[in-house]
Structure 1
């Protein structure tokens, strides 16, 4: 039987989506309407994004309420499968906009309550160019309500079902959105207790068993976190808006690293010898208690954003500053030379529990780093010229950023100072050219078509010039069917942290040694590497978004992505036999060949390639709403909304300039109306033009996605065998790259009660140890999370009888319902000590209850 190629499978799906849509085109009423002119006019909802690229997700206020979240930060996390870029670039967090405008950062909006949100739009990476960003992150736009004021407090408490840890979080938020201003203040405190190896039944080696080592090592370190965040925005009479934000974060963790240890040589002549020949004894010393590692971080942040319109062009000025101070104290075993001398002289018992002054106390290595980051960016967006096909729009950007990293580390009493700085002057331009849009005859023949391009340059003080470029195509042959294609290329310098982080040596880290097929405790060195070069990236993305008119609420999304990078700066990979052969100078073994230390500072790969297809369906409906309402639009479906004028609570917010709203703020007059095209849009957003807000009632939503990884390869350097992460190679501790990944999500909400289920599954992988090494097999992994909540205001007369419960919500959450933890086995079918379930996932099934009240 012939095996079907994954590439053929993915290509067939893309072709199928196009074929399905063709009958809809053939069934149009063009013959009846060809002699009639149809003019459609519509007012675009202020705050929405003007773009021909359809949104991936659209939510109205009712949809947001159905998630049962407490803040925008929580909502973004719930939407992670739709908001995280699949290109494998960037930070992973989407670019956020408020009412179609740039912000100085995620802090500007993260703590706003969901009750303040009117609607949400999530766009693919291509839209980022229109706001002066690189096309490696998705864009999420939050449209806020008018005249909202609220104060809320929430308490959360969670524990693993296996016990031995607790997590407590307290948070309060004040929000006021007026006609021309917005104020949001938030403070939260979170504390987490420890999980030790003993509490998870971690099996120790023989020496560890003698001293109950698991009591002195943490799998999950106790921590405390305090955060304060505030932002203020003001809109002036001319539509210009100015916003400020500031925040402070304190974080402290305290890990236990085990006990001081050492290898003692026992001469056969010693009166305490237990052998007729000389021997060595590795042992732990309980005399001084556990070794500790404390990390304390103080972060200060501030930002500002100015948005406005002048002469039909939208401008934006943003600035963001962050200062992070990190202090690390790491205990290491003390000097045993005096003890060894006493053993050699026969005056000390090497098996004693206390050696008094013969054993030196632990040595504490200290490291401190201070990073300062300033980023500024100015953008100008508008229409350059008007063609028969529509307006040619452009975004011009220019910016400056400054990064400083000062470090100091004290290791074995030796002080090392480091100081790095980087200035980055950058500029760029993107342009969008409509080929078929307002030229109706062409549009009727081929549909809507536009092309775009971008070019950028950055001058780095420590790396010289870096170039970025890209181009793309957006084609809508039929209403509801959109194809996009893009190619990007860029040079990227390693981060200043990858270059200059302080060197920290952490002892007694549990590590699996592939060469000897054993688990050992090693010293791990982390820090920066000044020898990292400039990375060159070349990416291609093809996508289809289909929302059929004949099935309201359904959307199909398919993406093909290919990434290729040269000179990639990366964390040190999993130490397999292949990796040790490629980086022999990073590995230290003793005279017996036992692994004792790994230098895990960043390394450089010659080439990294990846290729994948992701496709899926989303389907949503409303029920139980009053007559006249329509079902919830599917993600990205045009013409969303219930029809008719919006209610008072759905009017566009005043927090921003008037209707221009997005970077393409000056559409041509020709764009205000289209003639002769059935179903034509005008003035409003090409996609996502629906009215926010809902008519009440219930709603449900289901989404399912499948990712097929076609190729994942890493070439460390020419002359070294290429790593195939899909076929036995690995660079991470969790094994190779799964061939298949699945995501499933379902939500139901009605009368104040909501349920959400989220499931993820990845297929099994393996790591080949080589001819003399141990192979490892990693099982597949299925994670199922459940969330349920109840808004007490919607539950009859309960809040009338108990006034305190008014404005309250109780939520219950279970993560990893089946307590599924990846099973790792060696070639003999045994679980290596370093891959015990407690090491892989010390939390497992986790339950949490929260109580939130709005005043």
Structure 2
């Protein structure tokens, strides 16, 4: 038998083995075998994403079950280290696909039970371009089961080991997935009680001690949340699919802000007296939010091109009521006249009740996007594919705030017309001779333009390279540039003044209660960013189940809109108009509305290993990549065993821009990258992953002429200190016979914040957080469910967060803990335990 390439060897041997098992056929074709090349083509799992971009993780149904989660949202949380992006302006949450197709948002799949998922693929940011998204978020593809019906309910209850707070969650979900349709309904209620400063032993100043102020201030506000989400999808006979979703969320929180207060002048001594007034009870801040959401997505095929139309609408109504201390002028007049004792407990009508400031904002967002992907032309190296997109986004923000009886109205609107194109060009793929020499090689480029009604034209562009010199070894490189406007909320949120916020004043080295102003800033400019990413992904065939991932990322942005930073001397010097001090120099108020940084630079390296194995399975079974297999394993049956269309898939194409016929097999008859390997396997499994992030450079230039902030060497913009130079992640998972354990650990190194010439330095200790989760599926534990029928389909889970109760330790130059950085302020919850019971009917 002749071969044109060594890559055919494995497939040819497999074919010969099959033929030898059938003697009659083998004998009749011996002569043909002397002169013909045999190629075996395997089909991918329908719904998987076929791309030159290698997946970071792939999980099959048994892998998913081993996590012991209750929903897709929980699963994404468990995969956060693999699904969170560090690039650009991305939100961090991954882009979600269902069966390789676009969705209208995370709501489409968030509440699906894990039993409804056949497989999961996680891809790096480069794949986002092929679906019409910006390359600053990772992509996660969920492949659904062919047929599934389930009704589930779950109850959770958790408390800190220090007590004084309880969290209860009730949830019920109904799911039905059929041959051509999918329905998912979910309703959830969650309530959480308060933690006060007194319950965490917070030390107050002398005035607060007199009235036991900690009883009237919450560290964790009580909240109530009710949420409903519904999704429906239908696949039509012509291959098109339509998905609809809608949801409603009600959320209310009620914080205690302390007691009304004021400074009284004592005419006899000429001194002043600061005191709290107890006669009206605590000041309160109530935030009530109603969110309405709806979306639709239509997918289909047209002459080998995949097209998608998505629409999404969201309305968010937020009402905030904030109490502030009342007028004390009548009381001061009575004290001046000598008719009232300034130390009295109750002043009657002389003391005005608290004044309630009100703020209301209504945000409406309507977004639509059309994309089309397919083969543009054929080269000797393969098909050039492209993705075209065009969309419209309308945002409105109407706000009203009433402060000290003065009402201010604001109304902002933004129209955004946008279009873009992405092109992928294979240089070495189907031209076998070249591919055998240098491996697979492709390049891509993208260009986009947005016309904003309030910021004018904004441009985005990028280019990248994917190179697989050897099977399992993939190099990627990309560079992106973008101009982006600040969000409409950063521009126009209502102004809210919150009194008595515990704040550390670096200038005086003391903790004070200051008034904090939040809201929007209309003077923010458009941002310009330039990012570079280099990555390597290696899964050696000689060590089954191991994967190495390394990334280098450099971000450089100009005119960055940001929350107001921690008030160090450097920050106060840069924003003197945002700080108010009294005549003694004591910090009174901070205006923390968004600010603009002239330049922000960051540079980091992240690398790590993932290793997984199965046990107790039949001999010869190999898992998919990321779960004990080689790169690209994600399931897929043998040729001719293609499953029926997945609900919500609706087309014959699941790859970004390539029809199935073009990508049914890889070069040399090898199965496509994302479909090599068998499907579900039984038995137990374990998995360990470890990652290390090294921050090389983290700098912020507020404006030219102001000293640049070095966040790795004494500067800070956040209340938790500077940027740790080293961050470590460790995850471990073990599952067998219905019992599972998960361990997650994170560690960051210590940082410091230099206070300046006249103020105190702060030292922030390193921090190690260890979380543990254990669960048991009762169906897998002997005859228990046969004796107690109610327990059939049940799972009990136990969770401990922050096992060692490690809370960051903050000390000043004298080794003392500032009042603002007491452990109760930094982490009022600490070690947290939770038990849950889930049942499927």
Scaled to the shorter chain, the TM-score interval is over 0.9
User: Would the aligned equivalents of 1:317 and 1:378 in 2 still touch at CA under 8 Å?
Assistant: yes
* Correspondent of 2:571 among 579, 587, 604: 579
User: Could you give the per-residue CA deviations for residues 621-677 of structure 1, whole angstroms, max 9, x where no partner exists?
Assistant: 1000133422453368335268864999976624312441132232675974634xx
In the alignment, which residue of structure 1 is the partner of 2:342?
350
In the alignment, which residue of structure 1 is the partner of 2:358?
366
Aligned length: 814
CA-CA distance at 1:45 after TM superposition: 1.5
User: Would the aligned equivalents of 2:359 and 2:401 in 1 still touch at CA under 8 Å?
Assistant: yes
User: Would the aligned equivalents of 2:46 and 2:636 in 1 still touch at CA under 8 Å?
Assistant: no
User: Could you give the per-residue CA deviations for residues 712-747 of structure 1, whole angstroms, max 9, x where no partner exists?
Assistant: 000000000000000000000000000000000000
User: Would the aligned equivalents of 2:396 and 2:411 in 1 still touch at CA under 8 Å?
Assistant: yes
Change beyond 3 A, Cα 1:181–1:425: same
In the alignment, which residue of structure 1 is the partner of 2:315?
323
* Correspondent of 1:279 among 266, 271, 278: 271
CA-CA distance at 1:836 after TM superposition: 0.3
CA distance in 2, matches of 1:631, 1:398: 40
Q: Which SS does the other structure have where 2:358 is aligned?
A: strand
Q: Which SS does the other structure have where 1:324 is aligned?
A: strand
CA distance in 2, matches of 1:750, 1:94: 29
CA distance in 1, matches of 2:642, 2:464: 38
Task: Note the 1:446-485 alignment, pairs <5 A.
Answer: 446-485=438-477
User: Could you give the per-residue CA deviations for residues 682-719 of structure 1, whole angstroms, max 9, x where no partner exists?
Assistant: 4x3x2354444x22110000000000000000000000
CA distance in 1, matches of 2:394, 2:666: 46
382-391 or 638-647, larger mean C-alpha shift: 638-647
Q: Which SS does the other structure have where 1:111 is aligned?
A: coil
In the alignment, which residue of structure 1 is the partner of 2:118?
118
Change beyond 3 A, Cα 1:793–1:332: same
CA distance in 2, matches of 1:578, 1:416: 32
Q: Which SS does the other structure have where 2:332 is aligned?
A: helix
CA-CA distance at 1:86 after TM superposition: 2.0
In the alignment, which residue of structure 1 is the partner of 2:29?
none
User: Could you give the per-residue CA deviations for residues 752-783 of structure 1, whole angstroms, max 9, x where no partner exists?
Assistant: 00000000000000000000011000000000
Residue 783 of structure 2 is aligned to residue 791 of structure 1? no
CA distance in 1, matches of 2:677, 2:786: 36
Change beyond 3 A, Cα 1:384–1:667: farther
Change beyond 3 A, Cα 1:449–1:141: same
In the alignment, which residue of structure 1 is the partner of 2:177?
177
In the alignment, which residue of structure 2 is the partner of 1:424?
416
Change beyond 3 A, Cα 1:352–1:619: same
Task: Note the 1:519-558 alignment, pairs <5 A.
Answer: 519-558=511-550
Residue 806 of structure 2 is aligned to residue 820 of structure 1? yes
CA-CA distance at 1:80 after TM superposition: 0.3
CA distance in 1, matches of 2:678, 2:157: 37
In the alignment, which residue of structure 2 is the partner of 1:62?
62
User: Could you give the per-residue CA deviations for residues 174-211 of structure 1, whole angstroms, max 9, x where no partner exists?
Assistant: 00001100000000000000000000000000000000
CA distance in 2, matches of 1:652, 1:761: 44
CA distance in 2, matches of 1:317, 1:198: 54
CA-CA distance at 1:147 after TM superposition: 1.4
CA distance in 2, matches of 1:359, 1:487: 63
CA distance in 2, matches of 1:26, 1:467: 46
CA-CA distance at 1:681 after TM superposition: 2.6
In the alignment, which residue of structure 1 is the partner of 2:698?
712
In the alignment, which residue of structure 2 is the partner of 1:761?
747
CA distance in 1, matches of 2:281, 2:67: 47
CA distance in 1, matches of 2:578, 2:108: 43
User: Would the aligned equivalents of 1:779 and 1:824 in 2 still touch at CA under 8 Å?
Assistant: yes
Structure 2: stretches of 5+ with no match in the other structure: 14-34
Task: Note the 1:447-846 alignment, pairs <5 A.
Answer: 447-631=439-623, 633-634=625-626, 637-638=630-631, 640=633, 645=638, 653-666=646-659, 669=662, 672=665, 674-675=667-668, 681-682=670-671, 684=672, 686-692=673-679, 694-846=680-832
Q: Which SS does the other structure have where 2:667 is aligned?
A: coil
Change beyond 3 A, Cα 1:349–1:555: same
Change beyond 3 A, Cα 1:284–1:654: closer
Change beyond 3 A, Cα 1:647–1:252: farther
User: Would the aligned equivalents of 2:69 and 2:75 in 1 still touch at CA under 8 Å?
Assistant: yes
Task: Note the 1:75-94 alignment, pairs <5 A.
Answer: 75-94=75-94
Task: Note the 1:299-310 alignment, pairs <5 A.
Answer: 299-310=291-302
Change beyond 3 A, Cα 1:851–1:724: same
Structure 1: stretches of 5+ with no match in the other structure: 1-24, 269-276
Q: Which SS does the other structure have where 1:772 is aligned?
A: coil
Change beyond 3 A, Cα 1:591–1:654: closer
CA RMSD of aligned residues (A): 2.0
Q: Which SS does the other structure have where 1:165 is aligned?
A: coil
Q: Which SS does the other structure have where 1:185 is aligned?
A: strand
Task: Note the 1:182-221 alignment, pairs <5 A.
Answer: 182-221=182-221
User: Would the aligned equivalents of 1:395 and 1:429 in 2 still touch at CA under 8 Å?
Assistant: yes
In the alignment, which residue of structure 1 is the partner of 2:30?
none
In the alignment, which residue of structure 1 is the partner of 2:17?
none
Change beyond 3 A, Cα 1:27–1:829: farther
CA distance in 2, matches of 1:384, 1:645: 30
Runs of 4+ displaced beyond 4 Å: 25-30, 35-38, 641-644, 646-652, 667-673
CA distance in 2, matches of 1:176, 1:28: 43
Q: Which SS does the other structure have where 1:699 is aligned?
A: strand
CA distance in 2, matches of 1:743, 1:520: 36
CA distance in 1, matches of 2:665, 2:731: 38
CA distance in 2, matches of 1:437, 1:266: 87
Change beyond 3 A, Cα 1:557–1:28: farther
CA distance in 1, matches of 2:748, 2:795: 34
In the alignment, which residue of structure 2 is the partner of 1:139?
139
Task: Note the 1:408-447 alignment, pairs <5 A.
Answer: 408-447=400-439
User: Could you give the per-residue CA deviations for residues 409-456 of structure 1, whole angstroms, max 9, x where no partner exists?
Assistant: 000000000000000000000000000000111111110000000000
In the alignment, which residue of structure 1 is the partner of 2:840?
854
CA distance in 2, matches of 1:803, 1:63: 27
In the alignment, which residue of structure 1 is the partner of 2:247?
247
Change beyond 3 A, Cα 1:739–1:688: farther
User: Could you give the per-residue CA deviations for residues 375-420 of structure 1, whole angstroms, max 9, x where no partner exists?
Assistant: 1000000000000000000000000000000000000000000000
Residue 299 of structure 2 is aligned to residue 298 of structure 1? no
User: Would the aligned equivalents of 1:52 and 1:687 in 2 still touch at CA under 8 Å?
Assistant: no
CA distance in 2, matches of 1:320, 1:644: 36
Task: Note the 1:232-271 alignment, pairs <5 A.
Answer: 232-268=232-268
Q: Which SS does the other structure have where 2:622 is aligned?
A: coil
Change beyond 3 A, Cα 1:819–1:114: same
Residue 383 of structure 2 is aligned to residue 397 of structure 1? no
CA distance in 1, matches of 2:650, 2:600: 44
Change beyond 3 A, Cα 1:670–1:63: closer
User: Would the aligned equivalents of 1:327 and 1:367 in 2 still touch at CA under 8 Å?
Assistant: yes
CA-CA distance at 1:821 after TM superposition: 0.2
Change beyond 3 A, Cα 1:227–1:639: closer
